[in-house]
Structure 1
Amino acid sequence: MIYLDASAAVKALVLEAETSAIVEAFGAGAEFVASRLLAVELHAVADRRSLDHGSADDLLDRVALVSLDDDTMARAIRLRSGLRTLDALHLATAIELSDVVTSVLTYDDELAAAARAHGLPLADLS
């Protein structure tokens, strides 16, 4: 499974250079997983950019969403990653799921570097 963060997921909703690669990955049946934070992030983007919330829901229906628990929060603190709060929580979630996560799909350079530093390969959709 590919861990999907908001910087990548948003590109499926907002036309950007990487949009077609992400849409193709979903169309090809790639399996994605993410923290439930992704739902909040995508709907916040939909609000800010006046996008259809149904599109966000459709995308989220194709992602296995996992809940945050106290262990995830504690891991995010222990990582001392220097990341912003939500990125630290995404990284902690991806690490916890490392037995099923094959790669991390992000367009956030700081999260990408932190994922690599913790042994998580980055997804390449090119």
Structure 2
Amino acid sequence: MPKPRTATAADADAPPRLSVRLDLGAGLRIGPGKVTLLEEIGRSGSISAAGRALRMSYRRAWELVEDLNRGMGTPVVETAAGGAGGGGARLTAAGEAVVQRYRAIEADTNAAAGAHLEALARIRQG
């Protein structure tokens, strides 16, 4: 997952939102870090490029991909070996579905909690 970042002045003005983590059983967890990694692999076509973009090591990115592939019981990312033709990675249909479903759950959850989040923002602002 991406490294935690430190709060900035802009964060103080950001509206509250939920961060969703799904526990799918058998130890498989999917949260914003893994989903962002999948999205970046989809954009870049590369696990190493995705890791660099998210400031995570290739090893960590690869471990997260392997965890997802194993935990889902079907590959979410397929890789091609490097060499003269180059390598790369791409999301499978299952990987695209994981991203789509996670983002839908995230949006629905934030919408359902909207009034509560607004109330917390008012409390925070005094």
If the length of structure 1 is used for normalisation, what is the TM-score? Answer: 0.31
Q: Which has the larger radius of gyration?
A: 2
Q: Which has the higher contact order (CA 8 A, sep 6+)?
A: 1
